[in-house]
Amino acid sequence: MSNKKTTQRQGFKTNEFIVYPAHGVGQITAIEEQEVAGLKLELFVINFVKDKMTLRVPTAKIAAVGMRKLAEPPIVKRALETLKGRARVKRTMWSRRAQEYEAKINSGNIVAIAEVVRDLYRSESQPEQSYSERQLYEAALDRLAREISAVQRITDTEAVKEIEAALAKGPKRGPATKGGEDDEAEAEAA
């Protein structure tokens, strides 16, 4: 019997930090059994400290919700490399772009989240972001920082510094210049 349970748990253990796509980094604080309609159900109790929230997720449902282990260091490295790339901003309506950013943030994919941080990042010399851009940027930054801090066992603040250092290494983020950026827009228009 115990074997079946461990497979359902997919190697997740108590006290382990995990990533839950819709909420970011959480910690499994317990594994509980509950009886629901005569069926015994095993649940992960997941605590999201920063949101002061606790979720109970049936162990059998974790694949469906996309819960995963923390990213391996090479993936974190790839996310940090992504931050150094050139921002790719599609010339579509903001509402549509905002939806795409939101979807990337909630995908739980650390590299996709890094893309949002990179695309919405503004250096001091650049024009102010709109309120909704800033909110999405901060949400993505927060998710990325929390996962990096959990993987590298550093504080969120240190993780944010690491992210900002990577962003600063990106191409000069002045006003968009001709070339490079425009190819994409023309391709879409074609």
Q: In the predicted model, is pLDDT for residue 148 greater than 90?
A: yes
User: Percent of the chain having pLDDT more than 70?
Assistant: 86
User: Percent of the chain having pLDDT more than 90?
Assistant: 72
Give CA–CA dist 32/86, Å, rounded: 46
* Range with the poorest average pLDDT among 99-103, 123-127, 170-174, 179-183: 179-183
Mean pLDDT of 15-28: 95
Q: In the predicted model, is pLDDT for residue 8 greater than 80?
A: no
Mean pLDDT of 13-19: 95
* Range with the poorest average pLDDT among 34-38, 43-47, 98-102, 154-158: 34-38
Q: In the predicted model, is pLDDT for residue 184 greater than 70?
A: no
What is the three-state SS of 76-114?
HHHHHHHHCCCCCCCCCCHHHHHHHHHHHHHHCCHHHHH
**pLDDT given for residue 173 in this prediction:** 55
pTM of the model: 0.83
Q: In the predicted model, is pLDDT for residue 6 greater than 80?
A: no
What are the structural domains, with CATH classification, of the chain? 2-69 (2.40.10.170), 73-185 (1.20.58.1290)
**pLDDT given for residue 42 in this prediction:** 94
Residue 82, sorted as left (phi over 0), alpha (psi -120 to 50) or beta, turns out to be: alpha
**pLDDT given for residue 1 in this prediction:** 46
